[in-house]
Amino acid sequence: MNDHRPDRRTLLLAGGSLAAATALPLATAGQAQAAETTGHETAAGLTTRSPLVEQRADPFITRPVNGMYYLTGSVPEYDRIVVRGAPTLDGLSQARERTVWRRPATGRMGGHIWAPELHRIDGRWFIYFAAGDSDNVFRVRIYVLESAADDPREDAWLPPRRITTAWDTFSLDATTFEHRDRRYFVWAQGEPGIATNSNLYIAEMASPVEIKGTPVRIAVPTLDWEIQGFKVNEGAAVIIRNGRVFLTYSASATDARYAMGLLTADARADLLDPASWVKSPQPVFVTDPNTRQYGPGHNCFTVAEDGTTDVLVYHARDYRDIKGDPLYDPNRHARVQRLHWNDDGTPSFGVPVGKGGPVIRLAPLDAPNTRVRHLADQLRVDSDIRDVADSQFRIVPGFLGPDRIALQSVNFPDRYVRVVGTELVLAPYEDSDAYGRTASFVRRPGLAHSAGGISLRLPDGERTYVTHDKGSLTLTTPTGRAGRARATFRLIES
């Protein structure tokens, strides 16, 4: 952004008038290392490529339609709508894009083009997007494109039409979902009389291009984490699971302070009653300096190729410091990672995992509903781990000796599992032989062979293995069937 372009705060404050677990294949350490640069498909089809697509902010990926995923998102130029398709999530990374609509040179919709979403409804395609005008790029309103083609990349889109809301004010980030035979429309808008940039609203739809009834306000940015730089609630996305409707949204400025929040409603409730929605007091997905992911947000949800594994789609940057207005920094990249669920049925987002190979969790064979995790740098075994990132690891090449591996923490990537005495801890990397010997393991097929999985042997101990013992991890020489089972761990994709 040059020095003469108005900043986002000045323009927007005017209210818009100005502006299920699957075992992983047993990869070698070398394969894990290669995945860091080439991408990797897990057994469920969830790619670990990060980023998935560069410079595509506000990413939206459909669920599979006729065997194809389709991706759209904001381009850095804010001047067009693009769609790419592939039969796999990983394939979207290299798929060629089609420009399906470009803004006019002048007049209405000739300004910023933001946050397209692609939906298949009743056998037709619809793209909801926000557009400003050529004489004021921030006079943003919501529009929709419609196509009867089977493939949304085809040149069959009808001219866009505007979706009318209650006020002629700044409005954007529309999404739609169906629940209990009713279709709903959720969007962000500046409401006259409320001193915020945007709030969240919901309405029932009369058709895919028209709302009906009076819109209902369900969220206003009031929490400290929602008003950093701007008072914003925007970018809603809905996932319905476990008897509840979960609605994520993003808040604050579009720099490293950008973060995701959560609204929750009972699936049987009246979604048009504001009292049905409960806002979580803390954000659920935030910047993580350890993984070097900044400003994660504006998400959507899809599923992996197995059709059941929920996938979180979002954008984030790889750096914190930005020159000028972050809105014009092009490097918000589209990313995907698995969405986990707590035992109480609520979503567990973890941390934006950042670059690297496949992310896994370790489940002891003798306690299949538990996972290995770190807690205060101690390795132990627990169930219902709400901070899912504490149980996520990457298998990477070891530090000393041939054919050895190390276990790297996902949320503390400078730390690895290390043996200290008879205990296992998570310890910061040290450039020493002692560290290399005690943080490297020999990966073996599971000692309980019929179950698959892996066992981790100490390099200097031909019969000494990492073993689960009543919630702790220790080192033993396994004997008997039970001992071999305690020293065997399933790899769970994460």
- Active-site residues, by number, are 58, 234
How far apart (Å, rounded) are the C-alpha atoms in residues 362 and 368? Answer: 9
In the chain, the amino acid numbered 95 is A
In the chain, the amino acid numbered 381 is V
Q: What is each CA distance from 410 to 271, 295, 396, 428, in whole angstroms?
A: 37, 18, 11, 13
Q: 167 — phi, psi (to 5°)?
A: -135, 150
Residue 358: closest CA among 385, 412, 391, 394:
394
Task: Give every CB contact of residue 324 below 8 A, 6+ residues apart in sequence.
Answer: 1, 2
Decide if 116 contacts 70 (C-beta within 8 A): no
Residue 283: closest CA among 271, 295, 291:
295
Decide if 230 contacts 11 (C-beta within 8 A): no
Decide if 484 contacts 447 (C-beta within 8 A): yes
How far apart (Å, rounded) are the C-alpha atoms in residues 198 and 232? Answer: 5
Decide if 471 contacts 482 (C-beta within 8 A): no
Task: Give every CB contact of residue 132 below 8 A, 6+ residues apart in sequence.
Answer: 19, 109, 110, 111, 112, 113, 138, 139, 140, 141
Task: Give every CB contact of residue 318 below 8 A, 6+ residues apart in sequence.
Answer: 292, 293, 294, 331, 333, 355
Residue 170: closest CA among 129, 128, 130:
130
How far apart (Å, rounded) are the C-alpha atoms in residues 197 and 170? Answer: 8
Q: 103 — phi, psi (to 5°)?
A: -65, 150
